[in-house]
Amino acid sequence: MVHPHAAIAIVGPTATGKTALALHLAQKFHGEIISADSRQVYKGMDIGTGKDLPKDAVLELQNIDGFPEPLTSYRTQGTRIWLIDQVNPDQEWSLAHFIQASQAIMKHLWKTNTLPIIVGGTGLYVQSMTSSYETASIPQNQNLRKKLEHKTASELQTLLQEYDVKKYDSMNHSDQNNPRRLIRAIEVAEYLQNDTLKDTPEEHISIYWIGLKKSWDLLEKDIRARVASRLTQGMSDEVGKLMHTYKDWSLPAFSSLGYRETRDFLEGKITKKELIETWALHELQYAKRQMVWFKKRPDIHWFSINPGEGERIRSDVEKLVSDWYDETYATH
């Protein structure tokens, strides 16, 4: 029986085999996977975001308590992977949406004695599932944003001080002069004046953190190989279809690595060689940022991935998770 507030989190940079390990653990511990990837949530963006779903994966929609719309999951290998292909690229999807959806899924899984296994490289998303991000869960107010978007920074500063002078004083100089940050602060302050976040005690979640990493030389080699492979798999065709369907490439979805680079290639702005080099460089820079984020957590149990050691790593992780699993339920 799964304890009602326990989960596994598998984190690490791209190209380290997080999903494959998650599928293995899901089968061993009666779990289901929640994707904490801010880009794989978009439909039609499959190759560039590395969804790499098993061939037997079947898409399902499910209504669950705590989220206003049906949530997507792929049933595969006797388990599910949630929150892949949830929205179209031109639909809004923010950290607030993710928090609401992931919390609803975890509560649903606990009710069915199923262990949530959180998988992803988006550090803020994974962190949000195990910490209190109250203001992040406050929805955007588009009407208010339209009213504020033409105001000067000075006007926004005055308005925020009227709403919440303590918030204004707590902002650094850069944020105090950033219209986007000021508008969001006003939006939160107005929401809190007219509504109240539920004042319920924060429930403790027992998380077992697993981190997968590679030596930098191996990671660089694998990322470059992955970029070349994605082009062979049809990345150019995928981006071509998206360019035909969506004219606004300032949408957050298209900041996903590889998409704007491939668009530049298709428009003749860069060569194929430049595409591969630029895309791989951006992937490597992102991998560095991922590791910086995750190194802030001292409770992650790290495993180094080396060629030919996949079976040993799975066995070692399974043993540690089993010990944590038994101890967690023995003490509750």
Whichever domain contains 16, its CATH number is 3.40.50.300
Closest CA to 59 of 87, 77, 80, 39: 80
Does residue 72 sit in the same domain as residue 180?
Answer: no
Per-residue pLDDT tens digits for 133-187? 456 667 788 999 999 999 999 999 999 998 888 788 878 888 899 999 899 989 9
- Does 188 lie in the same domain as 153? yes
Task: Identify which has the larger pLDDT, 158 or 196.
Answer: 158
| Cα–Cα distance for residue pair 101/297, rounded to 1 Å | 24
Q: Which residue has the tokens 């969804």?
A: 51
56 and 159 in a single domain? The answer is no
Residue 278 lies in a domain: no
Chain position carrying tokens 């507030």: 5
Supply the pLDDT for residue 254.
Answer: 96
* Pairing relationship of beta strands 301-304 and 58-62 according to DSSP bridges: unpaired
The verdict on 24 and 81 lying in the same domain is yes
pLDDT at 332: 54
* 43 plus 22 within the same structural domain: yes
Same domain, 171 and 27: no
For the chain, what is the domain count?
2
**Start-to-end Cα distance in the chain:** 11
Residues of the chain with pLDDT > 70, as a percent, come to 92
One domain for residues 178 and 109: no
If asked whether residues 52 and 160 sit together in one domain, one would say: no
pTM of this prediction? 0.80
Are residue 95 and residue 160 in the same domain, yes or no?
A: no
The answer to whether position 229 is within a domain reads no
Can you give the residue range of the structural domain that contains 84? 6-134+204-215+295-330
Residue 178 shares a structural domain with residue 91:
no
Phi, psi of 62 (to 5 degrees): -145, 130
pLDDT tens per residue across span 268-286 = 999 999 999 999 999 999 9
Condensed to tens digits (0 to 9), the pLDDT of residues 46-86 reads: 999 999 898 999 999 999 998 999 999 999 998 999 999 99
**Taking 50 as the threshold, does the pLDDT of residue 197 lie above it?**
no
